[in-house]
Amino acid sequence: MAGLVLFIALMAFSILGRLYYVSIQLGPELVAAAREKVIQEREIPASRGNIYSADGQLLATSMPVYELRWDAAVVDPERLNSDLAQTAKSLALLLPEKSVAEWSTYLRQQHSSKRRYALIAKNLSYSHYRKVAQTPLFAGSKFKSGLIAEERFTRLMPLGDLAERTIGYQRPDATAGLEASFHETLRGHNGKRWMQNLGGNQWKPMESSYTQDPSNGQDIITTLDSRMQDAAHRALLHTLKKYKADHGCVILMEVKTGKIRAMANLGRTPEDSVYRELRNYAVWEKTEPGSTFKVAALLIGLEDGVVDTADIINTSPGVYTIYGRNVNDSHKGGYGRISLGRALELSSNTGIVKALYAQYAKKPEAFIDRMYQLGLADRSGVQIKGESYPHIPKPGEKDWFGTTLPWMFFGYGVQSTPLQTLTFYNAIANEGEMVAPSLWEATRDRGTIIAQHETEVLHPAIASKDNLHQIQDLLEKVVIRGTAKNIYTDSLSMAGKTGTCQLNYWDPANMGYQASFAGYFPADNPQYSCIVVINRPMRSMGFYANIVAAPVFRDLAMAVYRMTPEITSPADGYWGDGLLQAHSNGERLQKQRTEAALRALENGQLPDLKGWPVSEAIALLESHGYTVKLRGNGRVKKASKQNKTVELDLG
């Protein structure tokens, strides 16, 4: 008895001792540790801003995607046996990376090895994930099916591959395009807040305020126009496929402001030879421009006053030899005696070289200096990382030979990107004012525009108006009766210059062509400038710029022309008055009808809604507290009322 009492007493004392030790000795440490686990200052993630097109379409946004995992250990074998066959069949349809047999084996393997976190699929969209979650094995509560869905945010481009490369991406390992250039604006800043854990990754805010307020990213509105981008993409894709070309790009720019309305880049993927937005050729790819450069060369000659478009040159016999190398015309035998202007229209190499070489052979520096003055040595400064610098050879440097200068006149030896060439052509269209191309229209914060694009002038006047007008006239004639007369149409006036250029001419095994067309439209009042560059069309199918590149220009120009409504006023006189009369009669009737309907509703009656557009009828009825039920579609045919519910028969 006494022993028992003693034992109980000892127990009690040891418990008390332990209690003392734990709460007083270890206490503060444990409390601190618990606090750290349960109470934390947590990051509140900021959401990334969206990218919009100038016409308000969503180009890039953040969207949740799902990664599916499977806790095979919770699934009982009976369920597995009964559902496996059907599930494997459905999965093979939904996730075709595994066949029916493979899915069946895979799931069984995971189950028998009791895997708790087996991968099913990654990066599924919500609807895709729901479909997987409805297969027999994965349906129902996750405690029985074992399906684990983990959510993550990714960037979605709702328009698919339209302008994909221009919009770009911002990933830890790689960045490109506007997403990268405007990362700081788009990303916003994470906030911080003290939060308490409720178990199961649920966190309760401890205070009503943040220790650091989160600020969401701002939206970027680009200058791209989704319809023009679509038209450019379509025209480019069509041509690349038709001529089995390697890659190509199209840029469409607004003449007055330099806003880029479309920028399409498509290249053939090596594996499956379909065309995708792989690289931003428009900004990055620097090549010899070929004949499109002749315009710059001629403009320099005109500015220096050393040549005149009316000068007569003998282009026969179509070959002109300098330092043992031949300048050839694409037309065998040349074009005979023609004016310098006509030589540009016909893109005669010998004509241009003969006229200019006679003037500049002794003073190449004068020509090069003018190139700098025309802004041909500068980058365009567009908001995309990785723009290449143009290359201009200099007399006295080691890549300067006797043939360098004459070959430059028709676009060899110099290098520029498509966007840089377009910037120059745009300046010609813009009466000599060179504006900076821009892809950025505005920045918007919670619906309010906080910064907006202003046209930046790179060069107020690249040449005199007189000389520009001569060049403009010649560019129009290129389309009317020159190398690009095949794209002439009387519904829209266009001006531009073709450029067929040999790539890697020093290496016969790797030789190819680049077809380009740079110009603007409408020729008499330029609104848009555009460049098309097609790289390595299949030679047997055609490689001349007028056949390969110019039609893309025309298709895009026509598409843009069709998008711009002509604004006309109604005819004067009787018919004009009649139209106005009908217009105001219609408006009056509409007003009377609405007033009558409102009066009826005030009196609790159902108004005569026959012939009303559904949306108006619904708005009217709902604003008076009715519930509306619809049957069929079209306009209102019959309306019936029961208490506060109105049924509308449509048809």
Partner 1 sequence: MGVKVSKKRLKQSGNAVKEVLRGSFIGHPVIIRNLPFALYVTVLSLVAIWSAHRAESRVREISKKVVLLNELESEYLEAKSNLMKMGTESSVRQRSQALGLVPSHRAPARISPASDE
Residues that bind partner 1 (CB under 8 A): 57-58, 61, 63-65, 125-127, 151, 156, 158-160, 162, 198, 202-204, 226-227, 230-231, 233-234, 491, 558-559, 561-570, 579-580, 583-584
Smallest gap, in angstroms, from Cβ of residue 57 to partner 1?
6
Using omega within 30 degrees of 0 as the cis cutoff, is the peptide bond preceding 317 cis? yes
257 SS3 class: coil
Smallest gap, in angstroms, from Cβ of residue 136 to partner 1?
22
* For partner 1, the closer CB: 61 or 359: 61
Smallest gap, in angstroms, from Cβ of residue 491 to partner 1?
6
* For partner 1, the closer CB: 465 or 583: 583
* For partner 1, the closer CB: 155 or 187: 155
Smallest gap, in angstroms, from Cβ of residue 622 to partner 1?
23
d(CA 128, CA 123): 10
* For partner 1, the closer CB: 205 or 336: 205
d(CA 259, CA 280): 17
* For partner 1, the closer CB: 140 or 160: 160
d(CA 365, CA 358): 14
* For partner 1, the closer CB: 61 or 314: 61
* For partner 1, the closer CB: 231 or 534: 231
Burial classification of residue 139, based on how many CB atoms lie within 10 Å of its CB (0-12 exposed, 13-18 middle, 19 or more buried):
middle
d(CA 268, CA 262): 20
4 SS3 class: helix
* For partner 1, the closer CB: 427 or 558: 558
Q: Sign of dihedral through CA atoms 516, 519, 522, 526?
A: positive
Smallest gap, in angstroms, from Cβ of residue 173 to partner 1?
25
* For partner 1, the closer CB: 79 or 276: 276
Helices (H), 384-464: 404-409, 418-429
d(CA 262, CA 172): 28
Whether 165 and 247 have beta carbons less than 8 Å apart is answered as: no
d(CA 24, CA 38): 21
Burial 405-438 (b: 16+ CB within 10 A, else e): bbbbbbbbbbbbbbbbbbbbbbbbbbbbbbbbbb
Smallest gap, in angstroms, from Cβ of residue 254 to partner 1?
17
* For partner 1, the closer CB: 97 or 566: 566
* For partner 1, the closer CB: 57 or 403: 57
d(CA 361, CA 357): 5
Task: Give the Å distances, CA to CA, from 525 to 19, 255, 494.
Answer: 92, 10, 10
Using omega within 30 degrees of 0 as the cis cutoff, is the peptide bond preceding 522 cis? yes
Smallest gap, in angstroms, from Cβ of residue 262 to partner 1?
12
Smallest gap, in angstroms, from Cβ of residue 583 to partner 1?
6
Residue among 220, 152, 221 at smallest CA distance from 187: 220
Smallest gap, in angstroms, from Cβ of residue 126 to partner 1?
4
| Phi, psi angle pair for 434, to nearest 5° | -90, 115
* Separation of first and last alpha carbons in the chain: 99
Smallest gap, in angstroms, from Cβ of residue 521 to partner 1?
12
Smallest gap, in angstroms, from Cβ of residue 199 to partner 1?
10
**Amino acid identity, position 103:** W
| All residues at 6 or more sequence positions from 254 whose CB lies less than 8 Å from its CB, including other chains | 223, 260, 261, 527, 528
Helices (H), 398-464: 404-409, 418-429
